[in-house]
Amino acid sequence: MNFKLFFNVVPALFLMGCAGNGGASSTLAPYQNESLSLDERIEDALSRMTLEEKVAVLHAQSKFSSAGVPRLGIPELWCTDGPHGIRPEVLWDEWDQARWTNDSCTAFPALTCLAATWNPAMSALYGKSIGEEARYREKDVLLGPGVNIYRMPLNGRNFEYMGEDPYLSSRMVVPYVQEVQKNGVAACVKHFALNNQETNRQSVNVIVDDRALYEIYLPAFKAAVEEGGAWAVMGSYNKYRGQHCCHNQYLLNDILKGEWGFDGVVISDWGGAHDTKQAIENGLDLEFGSWTNGMNWGASNAYDNYYLAHPYLELLKRGEADQKTLDDKVRRVLRLIFRTAMNTHKPFGSLNSPEHLAAARRIAGEGMVLLKNDNGVLPLDPAKMKRLLVVGENAVKMMTVGGGSSSLKVRHECLPLEGIRTAVGETCDVIYERGYVGDLQTEFDGVMSGQDLSEKRSEEQLIADAVAAAKQADAVIFVGGLNKSKRQDCEGYDRDQYGLPYAQDRVIEALVAANPRLAVVLVSGNAVAMPWIEQVPAVVEAWFSGSEAGNALADVLFGKVNPSGKLPFTFPVRLEDNGAFVMGEFPGGDSVRYNESLFVGYRWHDAKAIKPLFAFGHGLSYTTFEVGNVKIDRPTLRDKGSLHVTADVTNTGDRAGAEVVQLYIGDEESTLPRPVKELKGFEKVMLEPGETKTVTFEITPEALRYYDDTADCWTAEAGKFTAFVGVASDDIRGSVDFTLE
């Protein structure tokens, strides 16, 4: 029995009573009447609530739920971790799973993979699918997506975000939010804001200039709120301007609720609130996890002792807290409840459906990035091989378990080795060698992979066995990278090193010396060093790809899917080529300074003329494309007009494929320092062999603006600009100049 549904519906039915001859609508209280406006319903419900009931809806009652108003038939809210899948049910006041047998989910690719599709249609498919799973599981708030900017490659939580560029993140987050919420499930966009490291995340104070804040770190959140219509936003753990971001006057009241007009709920990260007075005054609406610190300790009456629980109630009773602020918080929570838990028109949703698995596979395949492919090593043709060798622990290690709050319980995860063997069938023999030993842990918060990853062979023997097998193979696929363990790609920890762990470089170098037909597949959510890149002919970035990871990888390796992913962040050659590492501080101590300011990712590489290992926007295909004939329809842009840049893109190869045409704009005459160029448009174009299409980009003055921190406003200066059209930040195929008057 669905007890949540029972306890939510029965009180409401009781209040409605028997309709009789007058019809059901005549017995509805105004707040229950969905024909009335949302504001009318909120005000009616608010007028009926006691002081105690108002305070009760502002804080958690369990690890993932907050109270409704049982007396009025107003249901509670249930949250679930995302943003890659619906977390298994946990015990009422513990992180360990409740060991249900019907809470397995579809694991969708990590958001780095979604961003790498450079395709808003994939983001819409992702949001629709994960929203349906959340709805089926009776969840009201999906704790995702995450849109913090990829500042540098050591952040352990980068895999949960959408890359280094604010424009790309902004375009990709909006469809996700919109499609999730069509299911009557709130998207809770996180972590607001400046959560760019895990080290000291609960206490570090971020020091960043206003230009970088507004131009780099806030645009994706703004787009999610203003364009996506997000119903919830989660505050981050860290501090900004000396205040924790879960109750931060400038971020929450001045910007989010003030400048952006956000009408939804600000939810604390679990354990992110620290003070009752600040929580009251500085914008927090719904508190989770504070008394228990969100992790591992608490008290028998923990939830009553939350900062927005009895301490708030006592201040109200003593007249030391005002009713107006309280009612604003309650209105926001009621609005969220009416939009989600009390919405009788939302669809039923679905879980683990064939459509969801197909969506996960499609998104993963479209997001994988072909970084290098010399001599046409890929795609592999099993019909031309007798023996194919697969090497690497990541070919057989589950990647849906672990990593922090993104850990999932799936019905089945197709691993790379399985996907490869299924695709090859009986065509040729597929041999496996481990090559290296990474993390042997197979459990997280009670979710167990069921794998036995124990290994008796030494490092030297593992390499020797892999090399011996490579010499006998027609081709070799190495599947390595990072994993979801501590100090890899994992919440709560940052990486210790930029290089690959577990001596993988040794394995790769030995394999390519033994067999030059080597393809390296990296499973990760972060850039990594590649000291062997000149020797290895083919490299694929496969990301954490979810339930269908193995099938999606096989689709790409054997050419069923022509790769079209593009990097959403820069791969530097070495960590010292990253601006945040060189100019800024990482991870800092009590504070961390973003001295690199605007110059994040490709902006830094452009400004310092540093050649990246692989550039932002880079990604190859099994076909070839020509982009040219870049034109502009007028040389002058006026302050309220627009102009258009066009470019022709032609598939010059012999198979169908997709190219992402990218528009960057550079300001040639700026008063304040600006990047050499910034992404301002992109379009993914599918082309048959020999086909040509024309891509058109509209440029308005808004695309030329920057934040003037001396005047606290956005401005677009008159003068000369350049529009660059290319297929990566370091691969520009044409440019045109224009003037803003």
Domains in the chain, CATH or no CATH each: 3-339 (3.20.20.300), 354-568 (3.40.50.1700), 623-740 (2.60.40.10)
Give the per-residue pLDDT at 295: 53
Statement: the pTM of the whole predicted model exceeds 0.75: yes
How far apart are alpha carbons 666 and 674 in whole angstroms? 8
Rounded percentage of the chain residues whose pLDDT exceeds 90: 89
How far apart are alpha carbons 124 and 544 in whole angstroms? 19
Average pLDDT taken over every residue of the chain = 94
How far apart are alpha carbons 303 and 480 in whole angstroms? 43
Give the per-residue pLDDT at 26: 55
How far apart are alpha carbons 679 and 166 in whole angstroms? 9
What pLDDT digit, counting tens, does each position of 581-591 carry?
999 788 999 99
Identify the CA nearest to 700 among candidates 647, 646, 645, 649: 645
Tokens for 677? 């160029």
Mean pLDDT of all residues in 143-171 = 98
**Residue 298 binned pLDDT confidence (cut-offs 50, 70, 90):** low
How far apart are alpha carbons 732 and 566 in whole angstroms? 15
Mean pLDDT of all residues in 39-64 = 97
CA distances from 576 to 81, 85, 131, 497, 581 (A): 35, 35, 40, 12, 6
| Residue 94 backbone phi and psi in degrees, to 5 | -140, 160
**Residue 296 binned pLDDT confidence (cut-offs 50, 70, 90):** low
What pLDDT digit, counting tens, does each position of 508-526 carry?
999 999 999 999 999 999 9
Identify the CA nearest to 231 among candidates 334, 120, 364: 334
With beta carbons less than 8 A apart as the criterion, state whether 256 and 245 touch: no
Q: Residue 385 above 80 pLDDT?
A: yes
Among 286-295, 367-376, 384-393, 523-532, where is mean pLDDT lowest? Answer: 286-295
Question: H or E segment at 207?
Answer: strand 205-207
**Residue 13 binned pLDDT confidence (cut-offs 50, 70, 90):** very low
With beta carbons less than 8 A apart as the criterion, state whether 682 and 168 touch: yes
Q: Residue 646 above 90 pLDDT?
A: yes
Question: H or E segment at 134?
Answer: helix 120-136
Give the per-residue pLDDT at 27: 85
Order of strands, sheet of 692-699, starting from the edge strand that comes earlier in the sequence? 625-632, 643-651, 692-699
Q: Residue 293 above 70 pLDDT?
A: no
How far apart are alpha carbons 455 and 337 in whole angstroms? 51
How far apart are alpha carbons 641 and 665 in whole angstroms? 17
Mean pLDDT of all residues in 361-389 = 97
Tokens for 688? 């048959």
514 CB-side CA count, 13 A: 25
Give the per-residue pLDDT at 23: 39
How far apart are alpha carbons 467 and 518 in whole angstroms? 12
Mean pLDDT of all residues in 440-465 = 91
Give the per-residue pLDDT at 449: 86
CA distances from 79 to 127, 401, 681, 725 (A): 16, 20, 34, 43
How far apart are alpha carbons 657 and 653 in whole angstroms? 9
Tokens for 157? 């939580």
With beta carbons less than 8 A apart as the criterion, state whether 172 and 466 touch: no
**How many helices, marked H, and strands, marked E, lie in the chain?**
18, 28
| Residue 7 backbone phi and psi in degrees, to 5 | -75, -20
Amino acid at 154: L
Q: Residue 307 above 80 pLDDT?
A: yes
Residue 429, classified by CB atoms within 10 Å of its CB into exposed (0-12), middle (13-18) or buried (19+), is middle
Give the per-residue pLDDT at 621: 98
Tokens for 445? 């918060």
Tokens for 721? 């600009």
Residue 18, classified by CB atoms within 10 Å of its CB into exposed (0-12), middle (13-18) or buried (19+), is exposed
Q: Residue 530 above 50 pLDDT?
A: yes
Largest Cα–Cα distance in the chain?
A: 85
Give the per-residue pLDDT at 442: 84
Catalytic annotation, residues: 269
Residue 442, classified by CB atoms within 10 Å of its CB into exposed (0-12), middle (13-18) or buried (19+), is middle
Token pair 């004939």 in the structure block, residue: 629
How far apart are alpha carbons 302 and 310 in whole angstroms? 10
Q: Residue 6 above 60 pLDDT?
A: no
How far apart are alpha carbons 560 and 419 in whole angstroms? 13
How far apart are alpha carbons 21 and 134 in whole angstroms? 38
Q: Residue 22 above 50 pLDDT?
A: no
Give the per-residue pLDDT at 594: 97
Mean pLDDT of all residues in 450-475 = 96
**Residue 10 binned pLDDT confidence (cut-offs 50, 70, 90):** very low
How far apart are alpha carbons 150 and 604 in whole angstroms? 13
Question: H or E segment at 310?
Answer: helix 310-317
* Upstream peptide bond of 587 is cis (omega within 30 degrees of 0): yes
Mean pLDDT of all residues in 378-392 = 97
Give the per-residue pLDDT at 294: 55
Give the per-residue pLDDT at 343: 96
Alpha-carbon torsion (134, 136, 137, 140), positive or negative: positive
Tokens for 225? 């709120």
CA distances from 190 to 187, 221, 268, 348 (A): 9, 8, 10, 26
Among 86-100, 252-266, 627-641, 672-686, where is mean pLDDT lowest? Answer: 86-100
* Upstream peptide bond of 70 is cis (omega within 30 degrees of 0): no
In this structure, what is the dihedral angle of CA atoms 730, 732, 737, 741, given to the nearest 10 degrees? -50
With beta carbons less than 8 A apart as the criterion, state whether 81 and 87 touch: yes
The interaxial angle of helices 38-48 and 323-339, nearest 10 deg, is 120
